[in-house]
Amino acid sequence: MAGWQSYVDNLMCDGCCQEAAIVGYCDAKYVWAATAGGVFQSITPVEIDMIVGKDREGFFTNGLTLGAKKCSVIRDSLYVDGDCTMDIRTKSQGGEPTYNVAVGRAGRVLVFVMGKEGVHGGGLNKKAYSMAKYLRDSGF
């Protein structure tokens, strides 16, 4: 799905993100395009199911993983009409920095963005929301 890479490139162009991805969550449940060498490139169908599943409480207690990277869910509005976003933060393993992650839900795809160190989650949320809304309005 090479055409999807341009959406990832667009998400990355302002320099505040260290990686981005477009991930299918319906019938084509896999990473459609992602920043090369990043965590998002390794997101699995099981991880996708956790994010879009019916259990909207379990990940607050147990966390979730993205590409095997442990994360905490900060805010879940993925199924709130007019919002359709989720705010996540990576967990530190071995003293490494943590990063904000935002997920936006369109009709068939999820938009993932991970900020660079020190990038506030609010701006990432807006970026994921805007791209997801554009894709939703375009039939995706």
The ranges assigned to domains in the chain are 2-137
Mean pLDDT value of segment 70-94: 96
Strand order in the sheet with 85-90: 31-34, 17-24, 109-115, 100-105, 85-90, 69-77, 64-66
3-state secondary structure of 86: strand
Residue 21: predicted pLDDT: 99
d(CA 105, CA 82): 11
Mean pLDDT value of segment 56-82: 96
Mean pLDDT value of segment 19-39: 97
Report the share of the chain in percent with pLDDT over 70.
99
Mean pLDDT value of segment 26-44: 97
- Is the pLDDT assigned to residue 119 strictly greater than 90? yes
Instruction: Locate 63 and state its tokens.
Output: 């966390």
What mean pLDDT is reported for the chain? Answer: 96
* Architecture field, domain 2-137: 2-Layer Sandwich (3.30)
pLDDT tens track for 40-62: 999 999 999 999 999 999 999 99
Band of the pLDDT at 118, cuts 50, 70, 90?
Answer: very high
Largest CA distance in the chain: 42
| pTM assigned to the model | 0.96
